[in-house]
Structure 1
């Protein structure tokens, strides 16, 4: 404790002023944790989402009634992502948490399980029928989490977000329904566009080769053979046999283009290209696809609709 005996009165006033300002600053900081408001001055729901594709759904459905914080930025691989202390604070500050589930955010599963005891925590894939999910071919019984590559399945995720927001905030349920219906109409158009464009590639050239096996749902939904050097998760290791097997497939089937991913290092797929070149077969990189992360905010690829359209157009241009 500071002993003020014998201090000049001017110094005492100075010390008291500093203490007062410190208390005021602390009060202001506490006040900053209050719920944010929209342009009409109404409080909005604080939502934290994991991947960009989910953040985008919540923004589209929630509209002016939500403030969305995304954890994983462009180029971030969710399979390997580890939550920072800042992320934990974002989750704690949120009123609702939306995540993918199906072990996409594998290293964060325990965090979500703990958060479920405190607040609304929702896996957006929870209402997708198990019969529509792809089993991972590793004997684990787990499912491929990359469901957003089948636009029809992402419509189910959108409906789940709408239902959960309406439950949490019934006063604006009609707005969430209206927003979801408008967004789903765009998703249906996107689904038709993807199917039509992929069908325009000659059947013998409809082979999509990428760094990791993220496009299984895309392949089944739109009729294109998909091959990845790594498994469903980028946490799985690939070896020289994986490289040589994929190289041999490219050479034998005269595949002309492979694709890199924005969230996966290029070196793995470049090893395959170099191997094919040594056997006299020229393989080019057909372009960069967005797999586990969207593009930069403010760009077309920074939205789910724009990301999928970019992928479809890039694939068709390279293979057609």
Structure 2
């Protein structure tokens, strides 16, 4: 299999999603991809143990993608070797009444990872410049000053939100949160096949919603707003990665490999050194325990 280079997926200049691949041409089987992923997730699990002891960084993994793009299964497969206390997954749904009494970023601040841990946002703060742009009427639920009707939501409103999101990410990274953002880039045709499987396979029927079809009708709008959000908010401190998602197994491996490679840049993450006094007397302590 061709070596995966994170820089091939990292957004460092304006992109056009329509020109980016949704399937990576590789000469490998699902079994080979699973084997490579298995090795990566074991290394990530060991890294998180070291992070916990180091206690300086938290890691925030942000996953965005259209319905059926594979976010849930990716989380399950990439992080399944982790100590259950080392990773927390947050699936952000429609804001509830309590959340709507605060600004739109409030609930995301509350879900940030503790030092030494990973947090995964399955759908993220970017829903506030994606779904709300396709359906600006949702903004009315926020009861914002100066926004009385949908017509009051100007282009400047969205520019302000992009700036707020950049500031949010800059703030948390400056305070020890490593942020990596992934857009699972799936083709419209692949989504059609996955939705059909939900209808054709009885054990998957429960996953189907008529809302999936309604949102699918707005595919072009979603791609436009995804592209705009990614181009406006990919930064060195909180980069976006556009990952081909038509092949679920390969997508999982790419995301896992990128996380691992990016974490290697933080060379200060190491297990703490033993106190010199303890180190000097370690044989004595072992002998005391042996004689109990």
Greater Rg over alpha carbons, structure: 1
| Category of TM-score, reference length = shorter chain | under 0.3
TM-score w.r.t. the length of structure 2 is 0.25
Structure number with the bigger relative contact order (C-alpha 8 A, sep ≥ 6) is 2
- TM-score by length of structure 1 reads 0.24
